[in-house]
Amino acid sequence: MKRAVAMMALLVSGPVGATQLTYTPINPSFGGNPLNGSFLLNKAQSQNDHKEAYKEASFVEQFQDALERNLLYSLTSDISNGEFTAGTYNTGEYIVEVLDTDPDNILVKITDIATGEITEIILPRLSY
């Protein structure tokens, strides 16, 4: 009986067709359609819950940062060239002391004003 039902089902069913399945990526970074890029970006941005706490720096703060960067660049340049002047530099947040106590080394002592943490860097004196 089961065999007859199976044979009857095969005879009643029509022709069956099959095609090859092909994967097409959606993301344009992986070969997908370039027109999907803006859609995917908008979708990602709408799901982003992270809000960046960005505060625009005032002119005075930007100027102070530029002066600090210039001072540190000039100091590191002078130390690496061997043409530095020992002394103390106050950046507002850190006190940088350059000490010339050892004929073979240069000691750079950085003190964090807020925490009092001290970092010492010993650099070998470069001979030219």
43 occurs within a structural domain? no
Cβ atoms of 119 and 109 within 8 Å: the answer is: yes
62-87: string of b/e by CB count within 10 Å (b at 16+)? eeeeeeeeeeeeebeeebeeeebeee
What pLDDT is attached to residue 31?
A: 87
| Terminal CA-CA length for the chain | 102
Q: What is the DSSP letter of 66?
A: H
pLDDT 10s digits, 46-84: 888 887 777 788 888 888 888 888 877 888 787 777 777
This prediction's pTM: 0.47
Question: Does residue 98 belong to any structural domain of this protein?
Answer: yes
pLDDT digits (tens, 9 = 90+) for 8-60: 766 666 676 778 888 888 888 888 888 888 989 899 888 888 877 777 888 88
From the list 83, 118, 77, 84, the residue with the least C-alpha distance to 99 is 84
Q: Are 25 and 31 contacting, i.e. CB atoms less than 8 angstroms apart?
A: yes
Q: Is residue 116 in a domain?
A: yes
104 found inside a domain: yes
Full residue range of the structural domain in which residue 69 is found: 60-124
Answer whether residue 93 is part of any domain: yes
